[in-house]
Structure 1
Amino acid sequence: MKHIYNIIIFIIIVIAILSITGCTTIEKKQAIIKPDELISRELFENQLSDLMHDYASLEKKNNTELEAIFNNVKEKFENDNNNINRIRYILLLTLPSQKFYDTNIALSLLKNWPETERQPSSFESFRNLLIMRLEEELRLKRMAKQLFHQLANEKLKSEMLQKKIEDIKDMEKSLIRRNMP
């Protein structure tokens, strides 16, 4: 009886080992991607890469050149609302220290993206990253504005207290002068 029990335990252990080994060697199924979709994805990623290079080169331009580029990109975006024109326009809207800088419009354009076609995952990741960055920037601006107002209020209170202190000192000096013969 004990011998049969040991054989059953041995068989169970062997089956467990084989099933664990089998599970680790099963290949993951790859999603079937149509050739047209693969080409458009690769094309878009190349365009996105080119766009990042263009964006990096913008820091070498002066304000008038940047404004001309912005107007050109804005016109292209208004005429053809494709993904690349939209991203290019959004990135220009987020250039700091420019008169056309507007994170609210950029964030609105990112959040209200037309769902005409499925975007590559790299694009969706990039878009989500931009959304998070712009939301954080707006949150920090609101916080800085609140802190500035608090500082202004504290400064006003400090000035009022300083004036009260000066008034008290003047009253003390006045009392001392009266009591002097």
Structure 2
Amino acid sequence: MARSKCRFIFLWLGIIGILMILIAGVNIVSNIEINKYLKNSAYGIDYQKEISTYKIIGKNKKKIKNGALKFEKYSAWKEYIEKTFEAIIDNEDAYRFMVRRLRNKESYKELITSAVIPIEIGMLTVFYSAGIDTSKIGTILSILVSAVILLIIVVVNYLDCKEEINFILDFNEIVFPSKFHLKSISYH
């Protein structure tokens, strides 16, 4: 009985792991495609470079990824964005593209918080309530290690997604000030 419960738990952990790998793969492919489009579009945004730059503002990173630039302060990054993307300030098409990107990221974040995290917690609950023979420490340990690794992957994906949402919001506020101002007025 306990052995079938262990298999059930491993099955669910495996399914969740595969789901997270697929979601991460889709996210990577999406970013690559968007970056190809943006580099060759009228907008001229190197999305990977800009997001990588945003992630290291004010941090002392020695290893810089995707050609990111280092800025000590947010205000210096803001000036860089204003100068670099002067040609698309308040451009409706570029704004709509970034809004769509924001909505996609928010949907991804919602998927993580509303589906993956509860499933992970449910799996741990099933594990503890299943009454697995605790004398089989190898089985218990492997399930816990799998669950912890999966939880770490979920948390990293969630934090990356949240940081990308913050980047898009800040970018939109700087590059599309009139549109961002109108949006903030409509919420009040």
Higher relative contact order (CA 8 A, sep 6+): 2
TM-score tier (shorter): under 0.3
Structure with greater Cα Rg? 1
